[in-house]
Amino acid sequence: MSQDNGAHVENGATTDASLASRAKQPKKNGPKWWLISLIAVIVAVAVVIGVTLAYAKKDDAGTSADGSATASTVTIGLKLAPTNLDIRNTAGSALDQVLIGNVYEGIVARDSKNQVAPAIASSWEESKDGLTYTFHLNKNMVFSNGDTLDAEDVVWSINELIAKQYHDADALESVSKVEAKDASTVVITLKTPNSNLLWTLTGRAGLVFDKDAKYDLKTEAVGSGPYTVAKFVENDSITLKANAKYWGKNKAKTPTIVVKYLADDNAAVNALKSGDVQVLAPITENLAEPFTSDPSKYVVKAGDGTDKYVLGFNNASGSKLADKRIRQAIRYAINHDELIASRGGADKALGGPIPSLDPGYEDLTGLYPYDQAKAKSLMAEAGYSEDKPLQLTLTYANIYGTELGDQLRSQLKPIGIDLKVNVVEFSTWLQDVYTNHDFDLSLVDHNESHDFYTWTDPTYYFGYDNKDVQKLYAEGIAATTDEERDAKFAEAAKLISEDAPADWLFNYRITTATAKGVKGFPFSLNQTVLPLYNVTYTK
């Protein structure tokens, strides 16, 4: 798996789903009517006044009274390119980002606040015991090839995922059966309650495919969303065309969207400056200044997301960091405000394992405020000082650059830690840290939402094992109300933060830059949920 299958950072990315797939086998567990009319009017006027269409810009779909032109094509610059389009088998949020909600649709969807919203199902009910979910589907739905979409396709899609263990099948382990009550009703029955089920179904686990369609999933896509894939160039671009057969309310406002993948930050910045792209998501905060300082031409905004920059500690017995005092000292010694300021100031402090858009979040930044004196005292108790330092190594992938490592070395030196920073190839990090657990400290941007479960798995690379946390998480999953679930998760997260098995450096916020006339592009969560139907560009 390449970098496209990963979490989101300015210089590259890695996510838990990608880490797992890289390091080991996956776990079992037509234009709108007004547009056509407008073009016809323009043609008629051109004929009348003797102006040929050759002079009209080829990307103009219409011209308003003030002379501004609405583009028929919008080009969006993203960073992480998918290697193929096979969303059933290929890990990585790059596929979710461009395909879910645009080309493929799920039985339910996710909104910009990370909440569950209607999609193929217009409504649903959950039984009081949390074991039965009844979904009522929209009427008159079709796939982009014209095939009818009904309950039979929904049931087939989910059952196929489970039977063939496609990507994210493990998230539906609690499912007992999926059946069609009639053409517009689907019933999912669980073996045990799962408070995360609906949210899980907003992702790959809930995607609905045409059971009768025959196509190459690696290079083509047949979905029911507002766009179709017109062209796919591996590691380069995806061209989306408005789906003329789209059945729903989210009809595409722009006939063509080109998604251009720009891995190099400087090339991306130059593409926005030159007008080759109208959107960059993300843009490094420190590279955004030329656009921020020119508001007449550009809009720059940071949106909320679920990325967590985790400074993970090796908690295994025998590790240098098995001593809780040392872990606590490191947390007190880190000046998070300084780290965030050095990156441009868009990120938010994060004191625990749950980001603000996930269930169970509460502000835990007060547990370990910056306190160098307290950090020195704890290190002294453990037998270390600046004159007698503890030797530790921070190992992380070169996709994150060197600046964070340099800052952490500087911040930890005064409390008696001699930090060696070891920046390695991503493949080396996967082998040494993620797979073999051979490290003292590590740094990864864990971007996946609802990934709190990693702190309940003692075999995960953190090596964190807390039975109370595991019990609370299990109770939260089994909860039959969101309130009960959130309370259990919050209690568990606080225990984790108090234990200091890691430091959560910050919640990385995605900074997006657009040309001034772009409307409808989502700023929040746009690295995982990127609905494009509402995007327009007026020059």
| Residue pLDDT, tens place only, 375-392 | 999 999 999 999 999 999
> What is the spatial distance between Cα 71 and Cα 35, in angstroms, rounded to a whole number?
11
Residue 477, phi-psi category: left (phi > 0), alpha (psi -120 to 50), beta (remainder): alpha
Predicted confidence (pLDDT) per residue in 49-76, tens digit: 333 333 333 444 565 555 678 999 999 9
Asked whether residue 39 is domain-assigned, the answer is: no
The pLDDT assigned to 63 comes to 57
Predicted confidence (pLDDT) per residue in 327-339, tens digit: 999 999 999 999 9
**DSSP 8-state symbol, 106:** B
Q: Are residues 520 and 407 in the same domain?
A: no
Q: Are residues 380 and 241 in the same domain?
A: no
Percent of the chain with pLDDT over 90: 82
Residue 12's pLDDT band (cuts 50, 70, 90): very low
The pLDDT assigned to 528 comes to 87
Using only C-alpha atoms, what is the Rg of the chain?
Answer: 25
How many residues appear in the chain? 539
- Nearest 5°: phi and psi at 71? -70, 140
The lowest-confidence range among 57-61, 363-367, 380-384, 415-419 is 57-61
Residue 539's pLDDT band (cuts 50, 70, 90): confident
Predicted confidence (pLDDT) per residue in 135-193, tens digit: 999 999 999 999 999 999 999 999 999 999 999 999 999 999 999 999 999 999 999 99
Q: Are residues 369 and 439 in the same domain?
A: yes
Helix (H) or strand (E) holding 442: strand 441-446
Asked whether residue 494 is domain-assigned, the answer is: yes
Q: Give the highest mean pLDDT range of 35-44, 320-329, 396-405.
A: 320-329
Asked whether residue 72 is domain-assigned, the answer is: no
Q: Are residues 231 and 319 in the same domain?
A: no
The lowest-confidence range among 28-37, 85-94, 222-231 is 28-37
The pLDDT assigned to 19 comes to 55
The pLDDT assigned to 56 comes to 38
The pLDDT assigned to 65 comes to 54
Burial of 123 from C-beta contacts in 10 A (0-12 / 13-18 / 19+): exposed
Q: State mean pLDDT over 195-212.
A: 96
Tokens 């450096």 belong to residue: 505
> What is the spatial distance between Cα 172 and Cα 38, in angstroms, rounded to a whole number?
48
The pLDDT assigned to 3 comes to 33
Residue 396: beta bridge partners? 423, 443
Burial of 145 from C-beta contacts in 10 A (0-12 / 13-18 / 19+): middle
Q: Are residues 393 and 529 in the same domain?
A: no
For 42, the token pair is 């323009």
Closest by Cα among 294, 129, 125, 298 to 198? 125
Q: Are residues 169 and 181 in the same domain?
A: yes
For 165, the token pair is 């263990």
pLDDT at 132 over 90: yes
Give SS3 for 418.
strand
The pLDDT assigned to 371 comes to 98
Structural domain boundaries enclosing 252: 227-304+510-538
- Nearest 5°: phi and psi at 57? -65, 140
The pLDDT assigned to 285 comes to 83
Q: Do the Cβ atoms of 505 and 334 come closer than 8 Å?
A: yes
Q: Are residues 295 and 401 in the same domain?
A: no
Asked whether residue 140 is domain-assigned, the answer is: yes
Asked whether residue 390 is domain-assigned, the answer is: yes
pLDDT at 127 over 70: yes
Mean pLDDT of the chain: 89
> What is the spatial distance between Cα 11 and Cα 271, in angstroms, rounded to a whole number?
17
For 304, the token pair is 């909320």
Domain containing residue 519: CATH number: 3.40.190.10
Residue 67, phi-psi category: left (phi > 0), alpha (psi -120 to 50), beta (remainder): left
Asked whether residue 85 is domain-assigned, the answer is: no
pLDDT at 435 over 50: yes
Q: Are residues 292 and 316 in the same domain?
A: no
In sequence order, what are the residues at sequence separation of 6 or more whose Cβ sits closer than 8 angstroms to the Cβ of residue 467? none
Domain containing residue 368: CATH number: 3.10.105.10
The DSSP bridge pattern shows strands 417-424 and 390-397 to be parallel
Q: Are residues 487 and 451 in the same domain?
A: yes
Predicted confidence (pLDDT) per residue in 445-465, tens digit: 998 899 999 999 999 999 999
CA separation, residue 91 to residues 14, 310, 462 (Å): 11, 21, 22
In 159-278, where do the E strands start and end? 175-182, 185-190, 227-233, 237-242, 256-261
Helix (H) or strand (E) holding 376: helix 372-381
Asked whether residue 177 is domain-assigned, the answer is: yes
Asked whether residue 21 is domain-assigned, the answer is: no
pLDDT at 503 over 60: yes
The DSSP bridge pattern shows strands 132-137 and 121-126 to be antiparallel
The pLDDT assigned to 330 comes to 98
> What is the spatial distance between Cα 534 and Cα 539, in angstroms, rounded to a whole number?
16
Q: Are residues 467 and 408 in the same domain?
A: yes
Half-sphere exposure of 293 (CA within 13 A, CB side): 6
Q: State mean pLDDT over 354-378.
A: 97
Q: Are residues 377 and 407 in the same domain?
A: yes
Domain containing residue 163: CATH number: 3.90.76.10
The pLDDT assigned to 225 comes to 98
* Total number of domains in the chain: 3
| Residue spans of alpha helices (H) in 122-211 | 151-164, 197-200
Q: Are residues 239 and 367 in the same domain?
A: no
Predicted confidence (pLDDT) per residue in 240-266, tens digit: 999 999 999 999 999 999 999 998 999
